[in-house]
Amino acid sequence: MTRERDERSFDEFVRVRTAALARVAYLLTGDRHHAEDLVQTALARAAVRWARLDDPEAYVRRVLYTQAVSWWRVQRRRRREVLVEFPPDRPTGQDDPDLRILLENALARLTRKQRAVLILRFYEDRSESETAHLLSVGLGTVKSQTRHALRRLRELAPEIGELLAEAEEVDA
């Protein structure tokens, strides 16, 4: 009976949280297919330990982050990142399409580690220490990667700052 209850609770977790986890994985990877693989890996690891997990959401997200970083490390050893003038089109959200497209293209041109730090710090509203812990890096690394990533975003897409300023004027 306990096993059946665990299976039902896991199935419910997967049904309810997969979309949100897939969005985070996509932001971490910049690739829909790799994001799906990342979510599947995280959920498979959670399924094995499901009965022992106190906070399944935190566990699955931690697996997402650590697997993404592990993948980046392997990729970095294999090949260098190549910057292209126009990154491939990706699906956009429904808020402000212009801002989302600009931000998505600019994020795609950051290093993977910079992208992960920005996603954790600003999309998930994590503290510097939480981000460092989740990515298994030092606090100084998080601070410097954040600074470098934001500077790079300003260089790659100065329009983002202009669009945000316009949005703030409309809200005021």
- Check if the beta carbon of residue 110 is closer than 8 Å to that of residue 152: yes
pLDDT score at 139:
93
Q: pLDDT band at residue 73, thresholds of 50, 70 and 90?
A: low
For residue 12, the model assigns a pLDDT of 93
Q: Which of 67, 62, 73, 63 is nearest to 130 (CA)?
A: 62
User: In Å, how far are 26, 29, 30, 41 from 35, measured between CA atoms?
Assistant: 5, 6, 8, 10
User: Residue 57, exposed/middle/buried by CB under 10 A (0-12, 13-18, 19+)?
Assistant: middle
Tell me the average pLDDT across 106-125.
87
The DSSP code sequence of 90-116 is: ----SS-HHHHHHHHHHHHTS-HHHHH
Torsion angle of C-alpha atoms 6, 41, 131, 129, degrees rounded to 10: 50
Question: Rounded to two decimals, what is the model's pTM?
Answer: 0.51
Domains identified in the chain and CATH numbers: 1-80 (1.10.1740), 93-172 (1.10.10.10)
pLDDT tier for residue 14 given thresholds of 50, 70 and 90: very high
Give me the mean pLDDT over the 66-78 stretch.
71
Identify the pLDDT of residue 36: 93
Are 132 and 113 in contact by the 8 Å Cβ rule? The answer is no
Q: What is the pLDDT of residue 43?
A: 94
The DSSP call for residue 88 is: P
Question: What's the rounded Cα separation, in Å, for the pair 157 and 159?
Answer: 5
SS3 28: helix
Predicted pLDDT at 140: 94
**Average pLDDT, rounded, for the chain:** 80
